Amino acid sequence: MKYHKFSVFLHLFTCTIFIFCSLFKLSAQTFTDSSHIFRKAILQPTNPQDLPSGIHYYTKKKALDLELNDTLNAIYDLRLLSIAEFKIGNNFSSENNVVEALNLIESMSTKDTLINSRVGLYNQLGRIYRTSSNPTEAIKTFDKALKIANRLKDSVVILNNKANIYKDQLDYKKALDIYTLLQKKQTQFNTYQQTLVTDNLGYVQSKLNLPEALQNLKKALELRKQNNDFIGQHSSNTHLAEFYLDRKDTAKAIEHAKEALALSDKINSSSFKLDAISTLMTMNKNPLVHEYKKLTDSISNAKQIAENKNAFLKYNVAEEQKKTQASILLQEIESRKRLAYQALAFIIFLILVGSYFIYRNRYRKAKIEEIYKTETRIAKKVHDEVANDMYKVMTSLENNLGVDGTILDEMEKIYTKTRDISRENSAIDLNEDFGLQLNDLLLGYKNDKVKVITRNLSKMPWDTVPELKKTTIYRVLQELMTNMRKHSQASFVTLIFEKEGSKMRINYKDNGVGCDLFKKNGLQHTESRIASINGTINFESKQGDGFKASIII
């Protein structure tokens, strides 16, 4: 038993060491895991804070990588920063990140091997030129990327973006040629590339009044919903709104335009929101609204030109705003980390406390089971060795005429006691009907002088009672009944079984001579059995007034 208890605490100590080692390892992996989280926040944003938090994280990471002379990672950081800034409408910041990354590549002796990075940066730069109303530079940049691209997935995205330029210029025939070429190879594309090509193909087909247009537009939207692609859904809904508007179905056009507006809030992009509102304004029949839209578009274009001319000043102002926002965001992130570690520490504490009580309960249960096994083993030994040997001696003496009969009577009493001890501690077959076994035990004490009455015994849900509790109930009632037969001189015994919630109450009562409870009358063992399974037993008796016991398990 001592060894078992020591092994339990050794196991708990080992668990504690393992948990704290895991915490240390978790802390070491935090930076790597954060990169994965914030990369996804930029490439696949799902809530308004994703893009700002990603920008904040990779701005810090870029500075650290440059400080460590880790140029490759710094280039990758700048690519992600450019994508994030572009998505929230900061074209100038996005362009500056691309230019900085390209300059870093040029400064490396291994620049000729960084083809994929260069392709990605040229593609991003082309997208920026497109949204900045500079289609000529956009096409030049996309062609530059296509010349060095050596991966199919890169070529797909670049060709799609180049076709978008022709689409913006209303040259739908050139755009259709590119999209049709891409569609023929779409079995080699991933889901994102397939939806990109399908949506743009459907849009160009709609402008050329081709019958396949609506089918392709709806197919792209459905795939983007399945992939939870909010940016893609925004594009699909905008194209569908324009499709229905061209065909005078204003109700459906408004429905898709409103959906695009709702998605722009989820993406947290002012440029996307502006596009959605602009689409809705186009559907308004009021001529003043159309005049207002025309004027605002004109002002917006003029503003874009002014921003390009004063880019350096705008960049500095934006940087200061980002620093302020980044500081606030950093404080929030640090606060969340602190709360997360506190919560983790509390959970570990609860696990340790819970483990302690679980192992303590298992230890106590194992100890009780061992006691019952020992009792059963001793009972069997008493029966097989002592009682049987005593019976052989008695039989031998009975055949000897010279033996005093009194000696034989005393030996028979000893034999009877030995047999009773063996029977009282014999094994209990818990696979059989326990209620029936317990009833047989109690009625076994019934005779001409003693009446035994039980109530509700057969109504108890014995199948739900654990085996350890069944064994304890059996032994305790056996000891009470044996005590009654030996000492109480009772003529009447009642046992009432009751279910009280999740517990069971057993009330014992006899009309015997009673006893002095202070002396316990050998009932300490009964109390120990009940206490070992977290139950309670209370005795009530006095000389000449019977004996009562109340058991709750």
End-to-end, the C-alpha distance of the chain in Å comes to 25
Contacts of residue 111, defined as CB under 8 A and 6 or more positions apart, other chains included, come to 105
CA 101/CA 71 separation, integer angstroms? 9
Which tokens in the block code for residue 248?
């005078």
**Residue 23 pLDDT:** 47
CA 231/CA 441 separation, integer angstroms? 77
Contacts of residue 227, defined as CB under 8 A and 6 or more positions apart, other chains included, come to 191, 192, 195
**Residue 452 pLDDT:** 93
State how far Cα 418 lies from the chain centre. 60
Which tokens in the block code for residue 151?
């991966």
Mean pLDDT of 12-31: 50
Q: Tell me which of 387 and 53 has the higher pLDDT.
A: 53
The strand pair at 547-552 and 492-500 is best described as: unpaired
> Could you report the per-residue pLDDT of 118-159, keeping only the tens digit for each?
899 999 989 988 888 888 889 999 999 999 888 887 888 899
Q: Identify the helix (H) or strand (E) that includes residue 341.
A: helix 311-381
Q: Please name which of 199, 122, 114 lies closest in space to residue 155, comparing C-alpha atoms.
A: 122
Mean pLDDT of 51-66: 92
What domains can be seen in the chain, in order of their start residue? Answer: 429-552 (3.30.565.10)
pLDDT at 26 over 50: no
Residues of the chain with pLDDT > 90: what percent?
A: 21
Residues of the chain with pLDDT > 70: what percent?
A: 73
Mean pLDDT of 394-407: 64
pTM comes to 0.44
One-character DSSP codes across 507-541: EEEE-S----GGGGGG-HHHHHHHHHTT-EEEEEE
Confidence of residue 3 (pLDDT cuts 50, 70, 90): very low
Q: Count H helices, E strands: the chain?
A: 20, 5
Which tokens in the block code for residue 138?
């956009």
> Could you report the per-residue pLDDT of 414-444, keeping only the tens digit for each?
756 665 665 555 567 677 788 888 888 888 8
**Residue 41 pLDDT:** 86
Q: Tell me which of 107 and 419 has the higher pLDDT.
A: 107
Mean pLDDT of 247-253: 89
pLDDT at 495 over 70: yes
> Could you report the per-residue pLDDT of 80-101, keeping only the tens digit for each?
999 999 888 888 888 889 889 9
pLDDT at 398 over 90: no
> Could you report the per-residue pLDDT of 517-549, keeping only the tens digit for each?
664 555 777 888 888 888 999 988 888 888 999
Q: Tell me which of 402 and 172 has the higher pLDDT.
A: 172
DSSP 503: E
CA 92/CA 316 separation, integer angstroms? 11
